Amino acid sequence: SLRNARLAGYDRKVPSIQLDLVQYYSENRQLPEAAAVLDSMERYPGGAEPEVIAANLEMGLAAYREALGMELLAGRPVPTDLLEAGRDARELLADAAKFLAEGLENSGDLRALYLDNQRLGAIYQALGDHKASAERYRRSLQYKDTLAVNQAQFLLKQYERDQELATRREADLRLANERQKQQFRFYSTLAAGGGLFLLAIGLWSRLRYTRRTNAIITREKERSEELLLNILPEEVAEELKEKGEADARLIEQATVLFTDFKGFTAYSEKMSPQQLVKDLHLSFTAFDEIIARHGMEKIKTIVDAYMAAGGLPTPNTTHATDVIKAALAMRDFIAEGKRYKLEKGLPYFEIRIGIHTGPVVAGIVGVKKFSYDIWGDTVNTASRMESSGEVGQVNISEATYALVKNESGLTFTPRGKVQAKGKGEMEMYFVHTIA
């Protein structure tokens, strides 16, 4: 019916309907039909201002050529007469990239930005423009991170709704209990007059209702708790529940970890967007499990970088050791993945890890897109430890070294003073486990 409505508008030569029909045919891979409509629009001389027709035609060409480009990219045959005189598949792909990039500039849909940057990366990869391809992959991952933050905000709103519902149910239950007491007094009067049977039925009915309502409230509260703890540390979540907000606080001493994959741009040039995202997801999922085992908090991911910290939100005395052990486990996981990929002849990740200890400010940032984050010079220094490190090594600062130098099971390689961007020369150490 939608197609018939569009065809009716097309027959009346309405430019906006013609554009809709081009998009409809393009989305459904009916490329000859899309080409025919475009050809008709180009020949149509009147009925609207020339600039309106030109704008409609440009939008139609964008949808049409993008569809053609994706057909070629997927290896599907495209009729020769659709390639236009003197144009080959490579030129058509370049056109598809141009129109897709222009469309993305004006898009406000985060999911579309995430997926279409992946598609654009694939087109650039097919064209051999590896730098542009890698940049699009990076943007796609950034939009994915933003989507994750939005999901966290959605979960918090859902938590608040669930809590409100649970509160209403508790109020209803209190009212029901009060009514139950009144009924009990009534049934007691009946019992005194020989109505024991009615009393038993009434009490059993109220007891069943009370148990069922309590079970529903308990399930809703447990679900809400689980949702909230997926996005916030437990202590911060408790404060948020009690006060409706969580104050930023100074943590006198925490240990911050940064990871980064060496040559990520070059790696992304060799992989499809799907495989790239899959490999990152596999690595970061493993990192999540590792830091959970060592009592750390994940702070965020930034494309191919991963940030976590120990000793917060609740301070402890083992944070430096915990973070180092987690870092060594991360390094070993990536090294094992490299061995596997080498055996298969596939591209592989290599990792640098940096760690620093010091004071940080921790709290929730944002209103619509909130997240738990940390700030301070300690964070910047930890990042410099990562960028000043070497592949396959865990690089720690002098402040962290001072806390763990006597820790059993660890050995250290002094690096002396190493130049760190924006920090000057700093004492650094590589840390290892005793074989």
We find that the CATH architecture of domain 244-433 is 2-Layer Sandwich (3.30)
pLDDT greater at residue 143 or residue 292: 292
307-325 burial, b if ≥16 CB within 10 A, otherwise e?
A: bbbbbbbeeeebbbbbbbb
Q: Collect all residues with Cβ–Cβ distance below 8 Å to 320 and sequence separation of at least 6.
A: 255, 310, 311, 355, 357, 400, 403, 404
pLDDT, tens digit, for every residue of 70-88?
A: 665 565 555 555 444 445 5
Q: Quick check: 319 pLDDT over 70?
A: yes
Joined together, the tokens standing for residue 377 give: 């010079």
Q: Average per-residue pLDDT in the chain?
A: 73
Instruction: Quote the pLDDT of residue 10.
Output: 42
Instruction: Quote the pLDDT of residue 128.
Output: 72
Q: Quick check: 9 pLDDT over 60?
A: no
Instruction: Quote the pLDDT of residue 386.
Output: 95
Q: Quick check: 3 pLDDT over 50?
A: no
Instruction: Quote the pLDDT of residue 301.
Output: 86
Instruction: Quote the pLDDT of residue 104.
Output: 63
Which residue type does 60 have? G
pLDDT, tens digit, for every residue of 153-207?
A: 555 666 666 667 667 766 766 776 666 666 656 555 555 544 555 455 555 555 5
Mean per-residue pLDDT, 295-301: 90
168-192 burial, b if ≥16 CB within 10 A, otherwise e?
A: ebeeebeeeeeebeeeeeebeeeee
**Domain range summary for the chain, segments of one domain joined by +:** 2-106, 150-234, 244-433
pLDDT, tens digit, for every residue of 120-158?
A: 777 777 677 777 777 777 777 777 766 665 555 555 666
**Residue 77 φ/ψ region, left for φ over 0, alpha for ψ in the -120 to 50 degree band, beta for the rest:** beta
